[in-house]
């Protein structure tokens, strides 16, 4: 199984290992230290690290899904919309389960939060299944199938919110405010999201590198026809890949609505699908499938984040222009 | 592949059900041949939910249905392209008689061109909440209904000046720096705050709330002397408070902001916002529909009542008023510091005002 690592990268030995990407991360950090006049990384290392960790974890959670799909030879363009839709479903479930508490900004209770989160994950699984169904049963190319949900889910989320708030609160709104401090404390915690990202990354790494199913996913991405003729049920593998991708995006959606204290499907996670694909590709995943690693994807996320953070630190005034 | 069918079918059924719900609503709300009066937003925020409440109230009070009209709120996606596309779409529909636009970029000629094309087709166009560039593109609309944003900025600057008499360094946070309301508010803040205050940056987030929080983190990290954080658009206040709370640095900053999102009201209650200058989106929605209906019916009396000096300088502006809201009586800010037209309220009184209209924010 040598094709697990990229070969066509132009930087020689660096390309054959995640060490190259790790060195690139270190180089960007050093350049930031050099050109940042306030030496923020030196004087405020903990704060800077937390900032990078906060964003890397969030991007990483749904980039893992993008990486699994890309390795299996597919593409998932729907991550941003799935995040927005899942966040909407989570808030909607909270409204269904505790309409008065949501309207009066009162605590929801652990039970409501657990049910809302659980329901959101189920919806994520269903969206992934829909993708797999469109691809394997209807025969749509992955690009088209996930493009359809990229376009449709955000609008559907708007419709869901308007209908639900009309029935629950008596007035239509285009977003649902999240006041619950318990939920917000959980979802804004850098350590929780970082720990979750780490666990998910380890689980994905084990799945892809240490299990038969993982090897089959690489084989599927490398040559689908040969894999199918070998007796492997490729449809089920695709189902697994797209379901995992959508569920990981759903987890990100739950964190985002807590972080922003609002479920606003129109603006939430717009364009994030490209960030996820970029992180996976920078991390060594080949868009042709069959090549890539989870550690590479994690480093890809870290690299993108330190570049963005470095620019903000160096530019200072007007940094928002370059994000 | 049967195993794949059940979850996919389940989801499709759910989607169909939701679609059915929404189409049912649309059918009942667009009964025969009603002429539409549309309010097109610049983006999405609770601010527009309050405007929608005003729009619905006008729908009832002014008996739109009886007169063959229907008032509708259309939410833009926060981009100039989205607004241009919507205006083009309106131009292709014959049942639209008037459009109120919250212009996303004051100087955007493409948006103004689409507004002019609508006017050429006989559709009445006004601006609501955010106007076009009045020097260059005034003829793209009949009138502006909303806040005097420059005055609002001055009031917010005045609040900052009295909260921090020794002066300070500030950063303004906004969705789009090119929006007319943003330009005027930032400019007004500078005037109101005075010479002791230095502007360090004006940061845009393109309506991405995650980026809004990033901007606050970057500003705090990049500018050591920063001590005043200014929220220009409604969701900027919660973004500022979230970051300051996470960093546990409340005592280092004076926080003032425009608008009162429901979360921002909670934040002020918790002591994280020193002053808010609040617009009246309810009135914007209500008076916007009132003026557009009057234009559609050529009701000169109502137009003259709303814009008595429409030929004079600034006579094409209907001011919906401002409120300055402070946490409680212990605030160093007092009513006499602000303009005569500005209503000064403590948070408790402001919440009572919201409750009177069944609103969560403004």
Assess contact for A70 and A289: CB atoms under 8 A.
yes
* Nearest Cα to Cα of residue B205 among B218, B217, B197, B215: B215
Report the distance separating Cα B347 and Cα B350, nearest Å: 5
Instruction: List CB contacts of A74: < 8 A, sequence separation 6 or more.
Output: A135, A142, A221, A238, A241, A242, A289
pLDDT computed for residue B66 by the predictor: 92
**What is the enclosing helix (H) or strand (E) of B172?**
strand B168-174
Mutate to test the interface with A, among B214, B224, B249, B282 (most CBs of A within 10 A): B214
Of A319 and B306, the structure prediction assigns the larger pLDDT to B306
The answer to whether residue A209 neighbours chain B at the CB level (below 8 Å) is: no
Assess contact for B136 and B213: CB atoms under 8 A.
no
Assess contact for B279 and B146: CB atoms under 8 A.
yes
Contacts of A56 in chain B (CB under 8 A): none
Question: Directed axis angle between helix B149-163 and helix B180-193, to 10°?
Answer: 40
Give the number of residues written for chain B: 362
Inter-chain contact B49–A317, Cβ cutoff 8 Å? no
Using DSSP, state whether B323 is helix, strand or coil.
strand
Instruction: Give the number of A-B residue pairs with CB atoms closer than 8 Å.
Output: 153
pLDDT computed for residue B265 by the predictor: 94
The whole-number average pLDDT for the span A191-205 is: 96
Assess contact for B242 and B215: CB atoms under 8 A.
no
Contacts of B216 in chain A (CB under 8 A): none
Using DSSP, state whether A220 is helix, strand or coil.
helix
pLDDT computed for residue B27 by the predictor: 39
Distances (CA, A) of A252 to A84, A173, A206: 9, 23, 21
Band (pLDDT 50/70/90 cuts) for residue B45 is confident
Above 70 in pLDDT, residue A16? no
Tens digits of per-residue pLDDT, B191-244? Answer: 999 999 999 999 999 888 999 999 999 999 989 899 999 999 999 999 999 999
Report the distance separating Cα B233 and Cα A275, nearest Å: 26
Write down the mean pLDDT value for chain B.
88
Contacts of A260 in chain B (CB under 8 A): 209-210, 213
Report the distance separating Cα A136 and Cα A68, nearest Å: 17
In chain A, whose CA is at the least distance from the CA of B57? A171
Assess contact for A72 and A244: CB atoms under 8 A.
no
Using CB atoms, pick whichever of A55, A159, A173 lies closest to residue B18: A159
Above 80 in pLDDT, residue A8? no
Contacts of B211 in chain A (CB under 8 A): 320, 323
Q: What does the angle CA B281 – CA B105 – CA B56 come to, to the nearest 5 degrees?
A: 25
Assess contact for B231 and B252: CB atoms under 8 A.
no
pLDDT computed for residue B82 by the predictor: 85
Above 90 in pLDDT, residue B80? no
Burial of B261 (0-12, 13-18, 19+ CB in 10 A): buried
* Nearest Cα to Cα of residue B108 among B76, B81, B141: B81
Assess contact for A220 and A226: CB atoms under 8 A.
no
Which backbone phi and psi does B197 adopt, to 5 degrees? Answer: -110, 135
Lowest mean pLDDT among A178-192, B2-16, B107-121, B209-223: B2-16
Report the distance separating Cα B68 and Cα B25, nearest Å: 18
In A105-134, the residues whose Cβ lies within 8 Å of chain B are 105, 123, 125-127, 129-130, 132-134
The whole-number average pLDDT for the span B182-197 is: 94
Contacts of B217 in chain A (CB under 8 A): 51
The answer to whether residue A156 neighbours chain B at the CB level (below 8 Å) is: yes
Report the distance separating Cα B346 and Cα B329, nearest Å: 7
């Amino acid at each position: 199984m040598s094709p697990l690592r990229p070969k066509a990268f132009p930087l020689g030995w660096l390309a054959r290992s995640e060490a190259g990407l790790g060195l690139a991360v270190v180089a960007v950090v050093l350049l930031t230290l050099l050109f940042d006049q306030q030496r923020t990384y030196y004087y405020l290392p903990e704060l800077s690290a937390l900032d990078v960790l906060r964003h890397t974890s969030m991007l990483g959670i749904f980039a893992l899904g993008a990486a699994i799909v890309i390795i299996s030879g597919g593409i998932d363009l729907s991550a941003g919309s799935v995040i927005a839709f899942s966040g909407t479903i989570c808030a909607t479930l909270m409204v269904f389960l505790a309409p008065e508490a949501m309207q009066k900004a009162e605590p929801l209770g652990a039970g409501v939060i657990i049910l809302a989160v659980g329901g959101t994950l189920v919806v994520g699984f269903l969206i992934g299944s829909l993708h797999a169904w469109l691809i394997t049963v209807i025969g749509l190319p992955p690009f088209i199938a996930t493009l359809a949900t990229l376009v449709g889910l955000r609008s559907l989320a708007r419709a869901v919110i308007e209908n639900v708030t009309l029935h629950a609160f008596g007035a239509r709104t285009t977003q649902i405010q999240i006041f619950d401090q318990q939920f917000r404390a959980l979802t804004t915690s850098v350590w929780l999201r970082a720990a979750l990202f780490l666990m998910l990354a380890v689980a994905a790494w084990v799945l892809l590198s240490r299990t038969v199913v993982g090897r089959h996913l690489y084989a599927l991405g490398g040559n689908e026809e040969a894999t199918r003729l070998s007796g492997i049920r490729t449809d089920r593998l695709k189902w697994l890949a797209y379901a995992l991708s959508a569920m990981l995006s759903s987890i990100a959606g739950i964190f985002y609505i807590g972080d922003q204290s609002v479920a606003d499907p129109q603006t939430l996670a717009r364009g994030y699908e490209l960030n996820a694909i970029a992180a996976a590709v920078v991390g060594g995943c080949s868009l042709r499938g069959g090549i890539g690693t989870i550690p590479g994807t994690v480093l890809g996320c870290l690299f993108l984040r330190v570049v963005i953070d470095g620019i903000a630190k160096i530019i200072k005034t007007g940094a928002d222009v370059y994000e | 592949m049967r195993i794949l069918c059940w979850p996919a079918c389940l989801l499709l059924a759910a989607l169909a059900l939701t679609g059915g719900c929404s189409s049912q609503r649309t059918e009942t709300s667009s009964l025969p041949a009603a002429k539409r009066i549309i309010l097109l937003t610049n983006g999405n925020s609770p601010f527009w939910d309050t405007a929608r409440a005003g729009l619905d109230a006008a729908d009832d009070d002014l008996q739109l249905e009886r007169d063959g009209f229907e008032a509708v709120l259309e939410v833009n996606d926060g981009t100039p392209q989205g607004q241009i596309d919507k205006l083009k779409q309106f131009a292709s529909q014959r049942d639209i008689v008037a459009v109120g636009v919250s212009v996303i970029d004051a100087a955007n000629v493409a948006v103004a061109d689409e507004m002019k094309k609508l006017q050429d087709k006989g559709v009445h166009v006004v601006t609501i909440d955010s106007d076009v560039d009045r020097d260059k593109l005034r003829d793209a609309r009949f009138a502006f209904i909303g806040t005097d944003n420059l005055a609002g900025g001055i009031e917010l600057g005045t609040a900052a000046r009295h909260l921090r008499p020794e002066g300070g360094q500030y950063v303004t946070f906004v969705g789009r720096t090119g929006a007319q309301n943003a330009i005027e508010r930032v400019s007004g803040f500078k005037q109101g705050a005075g010479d002791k205050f230095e502007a360090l940056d004006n940061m845009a987030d393109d309506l991405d709330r995650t980026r809004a929080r990033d901007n606050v983190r970057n500003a705090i990290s990049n500018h050591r002397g920063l001590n005043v954080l200014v929220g220009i658009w409604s969701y900027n206040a919660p973004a500022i408070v979230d970051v300051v709370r996470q960093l546990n640095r409340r005592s280092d900053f004076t926080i003032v902001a425009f608008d009162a999102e429901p979360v921002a009201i909670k934040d002020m209650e918790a002591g994280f916002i020193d002053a808010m200058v609040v617009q009246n989106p309810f009135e914007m929605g209500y008076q916007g529909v009132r003026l557009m209906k009057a234009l559609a019916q050529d009701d000169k009396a109502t137009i003259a009542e709303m814009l008595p000096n429409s030929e004079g300088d600034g006579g094409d502006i209907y001011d919906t008023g401002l409120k300055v809201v402070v946490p409680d009586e212990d605030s160093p800010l007092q009513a006499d510091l602000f303009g005569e037209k500005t209503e000064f309220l403590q948070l408790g009184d402001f919440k009572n005002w919201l409750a009177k209209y069944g609103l969560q924010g403004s």
